Chain A
Amino acid sequence: MDTYLNFANDNLWGELWPELSLCLGALLVLGIDLFSNSSKSKFKSGTFAIIFQFSLLVIHLLDYLVLRHTFDRESFSGMLKHGLQQDIMRSFFLLSSLLVSIVAQGYLKTRKLRIGEFHHLSMIATAGLMILCQSQHFIVLFVALETVALCFYPLVAFDRESAKSLEAGIKYLIFGALSSALLLLGIVLLYGVCVNPIAWGANPVSSSLSDPFSFNGLYYIILENPNHLLLRAGVVLILSGLAFKIGAAPFQIWVPDVYHGAPMPVTAFLAVSSKAAGFFVLINLVNGPFAGMSEFLLPLLGFIATFTIFFGNLAACAQRNLKRMLGLSGVAHAGYLMVAVMASMILPGSSDRAIWILFFYLFTYLLASFAVFGVMSIAKVSDDTEHEFSDYEDLARKKPWAGFTLIVGIGSLAGIPPFAGFIGKLLLFSLAFETKLYFSLVAMVVGVVISIYYYFGWIREICFHPRPVFEDDEPKHDPWADSEKLGLLKAALLSLVLASVVLGLWQGPLGDAF
Chain B
Amino acid sequence: MLTVTPHHFLILAFLLVGIGFLGLLVRRNVLLMLMSLELMLNGINVALLTFSKVGNNLDGGIFVFFIMTVAAAEVAVGLALLVALYKKRNSVLSDDMAYLKN
Residues of A within 8 A of B (CB): 139, 142-143, 146, 149-150, 153-154, 157, 160, 163-164, 166-171, 173-174, 177-178, 180-181, 184-185, 188-189, 191-192, 194-196, 199, 212-213, 256-257, 260-261, 318-321, 324, 385
Contacts and interface: CB of A to CB of B under 8 A. Distances in A.
Given A181-B37, A188-B44, A173 B54 contact: no
A177 B80 CA distance: 15
11 contacts: A139-B63, A150-B74, A157-B81, A173-B77, A178-B24, A184-B44, A191-B48, A192-B51, A213-B63, A257-B100, A324-B102
Contact of A171 (B41, B60, B97, B102): B97
B84 interface: yes
A166 B70 contact: no
Q: Is the interface of A mostly helix, strand, loop or mixed?
A: helix
Given A143-B66, A170-B30, A177-B74, A192 B54 contact: yes
A212 B97 contact: no
Contacts of B20: 181
Given A178-B37, A195-B59, 20 more contacts: A139-B63, A153-B78, A154-B80, A154-B81, A157-B81, A167-B85, A170-B81, A171-B100, A174-B34, A177-B74, A177-B78, A181-B37, A188-B48, A192-B50, A195-B60, A196-B51, A196-B56, A199-B54, A257-B100, A385-B100
Given A157-B84, A169-B81, A178-B37, A142 B66 contact: yes
Interface residues of B, number: 42
Contacts of B102: 256, 318-321, 324
Q: Is the interface of B mostly helix, strand, loop or mixed?
A: helix
Contact of B70 (A143, A168, A178, A196): A143
Contacts of B63: 139, 142, 191, 213
Nearest to B76: A150
Given A157-B84, A195-B55, A257-B100, A170 B37 contact: no
Given A167-B99, A212-B55, A185 B17 contact: yes
B78 A168 contact: no
Most chain B CB within 10 A, of A166, A196, A213, is at A166
B82 interface: yes
A181 B88 contact: no
Nearest to B47: A188
B30 A150 contact: no
A260 B100 contact: yes
Interface of B: 6, 17, 20, 24, 30, 33-34, 37, 40-41, 44, 47-48, 50-52, 54-57, 59-60, 62-63, 66-67, 70, 73-74, 77-78, 80-82, 84-85, 88-89, 97, 99-100, 102
Nearest to B17: A185
A142 B67 CA distance: 9
Contacts of B82: 170
Most chain B CB within 10 A, of A181, A189, A212, A319, is at A181
A261 B85 CA distance: 13
Contacts of A146: 70, 73-74
B57 A195 contact: yes
A178 B25 CA distance: 11
A177 B54 contact: no
Contacts of B85: 163, 166-167, 170
B2 to A, nearest CB: 20
A188 B51 contact: yes
A149 B78 CA distance: 12
Contacts of B34: 174
Nearest to A214: B59
A201 to B, nearest CB: 13
Contacts of A212: 55, 57, 59-60
B96 to A, nearest CB: 9
B41 A184 contact: yes
B55 to A, nearest CB: 3
B37 A163 contact: no
A261 B88 CA distance: 15
Contacts of A213: 59, 63
Closest 4 CB pairs of A and B: A195-B55, A192-B51, A196-B55, A195-B57
A169 B81 CA distance: 7
Contacts of B78: 153, 170, 173-174, 177
A164 B100 contact: yes
Most chain B CB within 10 A, of A149, A166, A177, is at A177
Nearest to B39: A181
